[in-house]
Amino acid sequence: MTSTSQPIVLITGAGRGLGLALARALLSSGWRVVVDARRAGHLAAALPGAVVVPGDVTDPAHRDALAAAVSGLAPAGGQRLDLLVNNASDLGPSPLPRLADVPLTAVRRVYETNVLAPLALTQVFLVALRASHGTVLNISSDAAVEPYAGWGAYGSSKAALDQLTAVLAAEEPGLAVYSVDPGDMRTEMHQAAFPGEDICDRPAPEAVVPALLRLIATRPPSGRVRAADLAGAPA
């Protein structure tokens, strides 16, 4: 049973990892949830009640399909999106190559996914976000601010995403706009960054979700935040 008073969220890259964990949590808190991933065949069963739109965030036709799915949940004739989570991300080649060797085609792909697609989705949903005084949550990384060898393509893309986030916050004072460094998580992307390493000491993505829920619920001033700093903050 759904009602038009339930908030609406779009989470990109919710096929696994952090996106899937956040989608599960928001669904169980009563949100109406739209998700995507390129491989999405398992998602109707994994996220009962969610609207699943298979596809690639870098594809304009897929972004149109996401817009249609979100407007299908809004009140008739109206536009509404309460929360946009740009979570889908491309790490680039694994093992991570140094800048001296990284193929430009791979860098281009990383930027298309991590920078241009979040910006394009922000443009697509800005009217709906403004209508609901919504929140934009761009998932960043410590690699945006730390110069780790091998992380040049991905890290610089997340730095660009951070700056887009900061400018959007300045331009749209009616929205809450965050870039969030979730910290290390035991996911497929993290394993690709550390091929052959045992990553079982890293926290599961579910461990980061309470900090994100706290951020969404409390709406502190827009900015860049580390999930680790939010974890113990009062609600």
Ligand X SMILES: NC(=O)c1ccc[n+]([C@@H]2O[C@H](COP(=O)([O-])OP(=O)(O)OC[C@H]3O[C@@H](n4cnc5c(N)ncnc54)[C@H](OP(=O)(O)O)[C@@H]3O)[C@@H](O)[C@H]2O)c1
Which DSSP string corresponds to the chain?
---TTS-EEEESS-SSHHHHHHHHHHHHTT-EEEEEESS-TTHHHHSTT-EEEES-TT-HHHHHHHHHHHHHHSPTT----SEEEE------SSSPPPTTT--HHHHHHHHIIIIIHHHHHHHHHHHHHHHTT-EEEEE--GGGTS--TT-HHHHHHHHHHHHHHHHHHHH-TTSEEEEEE-----SHHHHHHSTTS--TTSPPGGGTHHHHHHHHHH--SSEEEEHHHHTTS--
Applying CB under 6 A, does 190 fall inside the site for ligand X? yes
Applying CB under 6 A, does 205 fall inside the site for ligand X? yes
Nearer to ligand X, 160 or 189 (CB): 189
Q: Give the active site residues.
A: 154
Residue 77 beta carbon to ligand X: minimum distance, rounded to whole angstroms:
29
Applying CB under 6 A, does 179 fall inside the site for ligand X? no
The site map against ligand X for 113-142 (x = CB under 6 A) is x-------------------------x-x-
Applying CB under 6 A, does 157 fall inside the site for ligand X? no
Applying CB under 6 A, does 215 fall inside the site for ligand X? no
Applying CB under 6 A, does 206 fall inside the site for ligand X? no
Applying CB under 6 A, does 19 fall inside the site for ligand X? yes
Taking CB under 6 A as the criterion, the residue among 7, 8, 10, 13 binding ligand X is: 13
State the residues that interact with ligand X by CB under 6 A: 12-19, 36-39, 56-58, 87-90, 113, 139, 141, 182, 184-185, 187-190, 205
